[in-house]
Amino acid sequence: MPTEPETDYDPELGRKFIFVTGGVMSGLGKGITAASTGRLLKNAGFDVTAVKIDPYLNVDAGTMNPFQHGEVYVLKDGGEVDLDLGNYERFLDIDMTFDHNVTTGKTYQHVIEKERAGDYLGRTVQIIPHITDDIKRRIREAAEGNDVCIIEVGGTVGDIEGMPYLEALRQFAHEEDEDDILFTHVTLVPYSKNGEQKTKPTQHSVKELRSIGLQPDILVGRCSDKLDIDTKEKIALFCDVPTEAVFSNPDVDDIYHVPLMVEEEGLDEYVMERLDIADEALPEAERENRWRDLVTQQTEGEVDVALVGKYDLEDAYMSVHEALKHAGLEKNVDVNVQWVNSEKMSDHHADRMREADAVVVPGGFGARGTEGKIEAIRYARENDVPFLGLCLGFQMAVVEYARNVLDLAGAHSAELDADTPHPVIDILPEQYEIEDMGGTMRLGAHETDIDAGTLAAALYGGESCTERHRHRYEVNPEYIDDLEDAGMVFSGRAGNRMEILELAPDDHPYFIGTQFHPEFRSRPTRASPPFVGLLEAVIGEDAHAATTEEVSH
């Protein structure tokens, strides 16, 4: 787990803070609305960052089950965080750090450690002011060096866990100048049976917020459609905001269109006015419009990609989905992801895989569904189907090769079969002694050296890449020579650690696996090379000869 910095912040720096809370129910996509607003501010020339507050007691998201919470997102400093941070990184095209995710576990742990160290000697340590002070410190430190910081409070107003945070925000508002702070509240506007947009849930939620001492400046209504003017007026009247401070957030097919929607309603302009930064914004004609061009371009063709995993939940593989989408934006094709349940390879899931143009086996933990993944890899290898294996997918590609090409019966990863006669994937030596599960894997950005003349070199356009990791196991050095003699090429290494595997062009059109997770660095405006290569292989471009425009990877 990354260590926490404790720097002195200067409250006079004049940064702007946009707080985003949610009402009525969770899952309204307030993060996407916030990130979209941030994107527009960035297009207008401002440096924007974000903080995600997760009011749970876990110190970080690393120990959480993807089925309940969606994927664990990994930052470059190795922070294991909520997937919302991935959205902020993608929308704002920034690299965040572990301290941009504030959790109750982290805050309490820090305050209690300070108490044990004697830092509060003589005093009673309390939620107010010690926890609330620590929350405010974290927000200010994370905002450092930026013009605008968006702070999203997870959960909904009224949750017991969220109370200390809302209290901290209330204090925060008193400590900063009025035009440096903006409160945005996102709520649900449902339809009644007779087709009327209902504002009562919004009214109640704002009432709750006000009882804690917070008055929203902006209200965003999540609704299947845009809010009618009557609805906006009613919300404005009951919630004590001007009508022009009420915005819609209607359903859209593609989350990358939300910034366009936000812009259409003028939320970004309103935010700039209220924060008194409109004069510093770039004139409309000079604003960055690459995002708009990319997400509105006319695509030519479709690619079906089979994603072979154990969770029937898009959020569990969110960054992989997004990375495929980004590659599609770069290659101008629509990517349809077909979920293939690796536990059901004997039924229609296998048919679905066979109908797809490419196969991706993503990361994972635990034995469930791994035989199906191995089967999928074999199918892709033997049938020249473009294949990308990520982390566990990379490891299973080694297992498959060992079993079916090297004839090592029962070869496996020591993680998944402790008694395997051939542990071709084994625990990292530095992990032997580690017993704690939280924050102890090989995490975050590490550099990989790439061999010249390989597929990996063509994809990354250079001799190295720096990608993010999250693993405890690796290729067992004892099997490397045998695997290479049998045709597997380890084209990327970090010391004697195998990072990238591939098959030679004579053996396969596109077969690549990475011990790292390239999906975490993929952005709509900067697609990840292994994903781009996968699509190129499908649409008939020679991925082995490809060079990406971006050599910065």
160 carries a ligand binding annotation: yes
Q: Shortest Cβ distance from residue 415 to ligand GLN (Å)?
A: 5
Give 106's Cβ-side CA count (13 Å radius).
28
106 is an interface residue for ligand GLN by CB under 6 A: no
Q: How far apart are CA 292 and CA 309, in angstroms?
A: 32
Assigned token pair, 184:
């945005």
259 is an interface residue for ligand GLN by CB under 6 A: no
Sign of the torsion formed by the C-alpha atoms of 213, 217, 222 and 225: positive
468 is an interface residue for ligand GLN by CB under 6 A: no
Q: Which of 185, 517, 544, 553 is catalytic?
A: 517
The window from 2-10, 62-70, 254-262, 363-371 that contacts ligand GLN (CB under 6 A) reads 363-371
Q: How far apart are CA 547 and CA 524, in angstroms?
A: 18
User: What end-to-end distance do the CA atoms of the chain give, in Å?
Assistant: 24
Q: Shortest Cβ distance from residue 365 to ligand GLN (Å)?
A: 4
Question: If you write DSSP's letter for every residue of 65-110 in order, what string do you get?
Answer: -HHHH-PPEE-TT--EE-THHHHHHHHHT----GGGEEEHHHHHHH
363 is an interface residue for ligand GLN by CB under 6 A: yes
Chain positions 477 to 536 lying near ligand GLN, rule: CB under 6 A, are: none
Count the residues of the shown chain that bind ligand GLN, applying the rule CB under 6 A: 10
**Rounded alpha-carbon distances, angstroms, from residue 114 to 9, 107, 117, 120, 398:** 19, 11, 5, 7, 46
Q: Shortest Cβ distance from residue 513 to ligand GLN (Å)?
A: 11
Q: Which of 519, 536, 544, 553 is catalytic?
A: 519
Active site (annotated) includes residue 223: no
**Among residues 210, 352, 472, 493, the one that binds ligand GLN under rule CB under 6 A:** 472
> For the chain, how many residues are written?
553
Q: How far apart are CA 236 and CA 119, in angstroms?
A: 47
Chain positions 398 to 457 lying near ligand GLN, rule: CB under 6 A, are: 415
Name which of 365 and 490 has its Cβ closer to ligand GLN. 365
Nearest to 415 by CA among 375, 473, 480, 471: 473
Q: DSSP secondary-structure letter at 397?
A: H
The window from 222-230, 244-252, 339-347, 358-366 that contacts ligand GLN (CB under 6 A) reads 358-366
Q: Which of 100, 391, 412, 553 is catalytic?
A: 391
Radius of gyration of the chain (CA): 25
11 carries a ligand binding annotation: no
- Give the 3-state DSSP-derived string for 295-319, with helices as H, strands as E and coil as C: HHCCCCCEEEEEEEECCCCHHHHHH
**Among residues 311, 365, 520, 531, the one that binds ligand GLN under rule CB under 6 A:** 365
364 is an interface residue for ligand GLN by CB under 6 A: yes
470 is an interface residue for ligand GLN by CB under 6 A: yes
Name which of 391 and 411 has its Cβ closer to ligand GLN. 391
44 is an interface residue for ligand GLN by CB under 6 A: no
Chain positions 139 to 198 lying near ligand GLN, rule: CB under 6 A, are: none
Question: If you write DSSP's letter for every residue of 415-437 in order, what string do you get?
Answer: TT-TT-S-EEEEE-GGGTT----
Name which of 473 and 511 has its Cβ closer to ligand GLN. 473
Name which of 365 and 387 has its Cβ closer to ligand GLN. 365
Active site (annotated) includes residue 391: yes
Q: Shortest Cβ distance from residue 181 to ligand GLN (Å)?
A: 39
The window from 83-91, 219-227, 330-338, 357-365 that contacts ligand GLN (CB under 6 A) reads 357-365
Q: How far apart are CA 241 and CA 303, in angstroms?
A: 47
Q: How far apart are CA 481 and CA 176, in angstroms?
A: 62
* CB 332 within 8 Å of CB 320: no
Nearest to 1 by CA among 120, 98, 84: 98
Position of minimal CB gap to ligand GLN: 363
Name which of 248 and 528 has its Cβ closer to ligand GLN. 528
Active site (annotated) includes residue 284: no
Name which of 269 and 314 has its Cβ closer to ligand GLN. 314
Assigned token pair, 130:
């010690």
Give 87's Cβ-side CA count (13 Å radius).
25
For 534, other C-beta atoms within 10 Å of its C-beta total 28
Name which of 221 and 363 has its Cβ closer to ligand GLN. 363
Name which of 103 and 515 has its Cβ closer to ligand GLN. 515
Instruction: Give binding residues for ATP as ranges.
Output: 27-32, 84, 252
Instruction: Give binding residues for L-glutamine as ranges.
Output: 364, 392-395, 415, 472
Site of interaction with ligand GLN (CB under 6 A): 363-365, 391-392, 415, 470-473
Instruction: Give binding residues for UTP as ranges.
Output: 26, 198-203, 234
- Report the catalytic residues: 391, 517, 519
Instruction: Give binding residues for Mg(2+) as ranges.
Output: 84, 152
